[in-house]
Amino acid sequence: MINQIKFEMLYNTRLIEEELIKIISKTPGEVTIKKETINRFIPINYKVEVLDNNLNPIFGEIKKPIKLDKEFYNFDEQCFSIIKKPLKNGNISYIILKSDALKKHLQQLKLKIFYTLAGIFIFMAVIGYFLSKLFLRPIREKIEEIDRFIEDTTHELNTPITAILMTIDTLKCEDSKKLKRLKASATKLSSMYERLTYSLKDSNFEKSEDIINLKELIQNRIDYLKILAESKKVNIISLLEDKKVKANREDIKVVIDNIITNAIKYSNSNGVVKVEMKDNRLFICDEGIGIKEEYIKDIFKRYKRFNKERGGLGIGLSIVDSICKKYNIGMEVKPNSPKGTCFILDCSAIVV
């Protein structure tokens, strides 16, 4: 492209020189060339600068620095052609021509490249979309099938679990230890059922918020989980201030149940779980196996378990985390010196 522009500009400079020579041949003595005369010879797509013998501009439109030692050059995507001393006995020393053809050509080229790349990107995106739908369809269908199975199974579990718990309450057995173990297992199964049903609910479903007596709710859940604690020989101690909060009762119940159940699960035999409410903060601390510091940031990830021997589905703390974020409840996990773990919930955002 640049060679074509160079040829065209040099050709035009020769034509201009020839026209000026014709004028000189017809005019004796020193010749003064006017702007109108020059403009007659300059192609419309060029800009021109004319310098006198002292290199001062006679007229022109070129503002950039000009290299007078070259016949042709390009600078900043523009091309320049220089006519040196066109008149031996005239008032003109240099005529400079400037062409923007290269700049326009490069701009057009950039646009073509841009539109070509954009077209390729859109084409690949469309192909990728249809291929992903094609290849992921069996996986999506399998996931939907598993979800339906879990939902149906969870729903079917409700009746037998309730029946087991009610039957245990009516039993009179000489071996109270066996009865307690049976009830603890049923309670644990019931808690797992509640976590599953909660996680399967539509997250976009609007839930009503009520004024809740937090002390009563926590104590109620402790009483419910006491049989589970007794089966592991774990003692639950509660020190609770009267506190009222505004939230959905089921949400807060799920948070309390999950953290206390975990505290019991990971406690050693004859351990203590302490539940304390003070200064708008709920402390649930155990004396169990503890959590390594490098694992703390991952304990809220779904299906993440760090001690498979203790069982669990790995969804409880993930649910707790989502509920706390929903209500702007600050949550902190710290070691409980000398052993165990403390969950600290800052309930200031929901206290009324």
Which residues, in sequence order, are bridge partners of residue 274? 237, 285
Q: How far, CA to CA in Å, does 342 sit from each of 59, 276, 339, 351?
A: 86, 11, 10, 21
Supply the pTM of this predicted model.
0.52
284 neighbors 263 (Cβ within 8 angstroms): yes
Location of structure tokens 């600068």: 49
Span 127-182, pLDDT tens digits: 988 888 788 888 878 877 777 776 666 666 666 766 777 777 666 665 677 777 77
- Residues 209 and 59: their CA atoms lie apart, in Å, by 82
Q: Which two tokens mark 90?
A: 């005239």
Secondary structure (3-state) at 141 = helix
215-232 pLDDT, tens digit each: 999 999 999 888 888 888
The DSSP secondary-structure symbol of 233 reads T
Under DSSP, the state recorded for 268 is P
Gap between the Cα atoms of 104 and 1, Å rounded: 11
Domain 2-99, CATH number (from 3.30.450, 3.40.50, 1.10.1060, 1.10.8) = 3.30.450
CATH number of 207-346: 3.30.565.10
CB atoms under 10 Å from CB of 98, counted, come to: 20
Compute the residue count for the chain: 352
Give the pLDDT confidence of 253-285 residue by residue, as tens digits: 989 998 998 899 888 889 999 999 999 999 999
The ranges assigned to domains in the chain are 2-99, 207-346
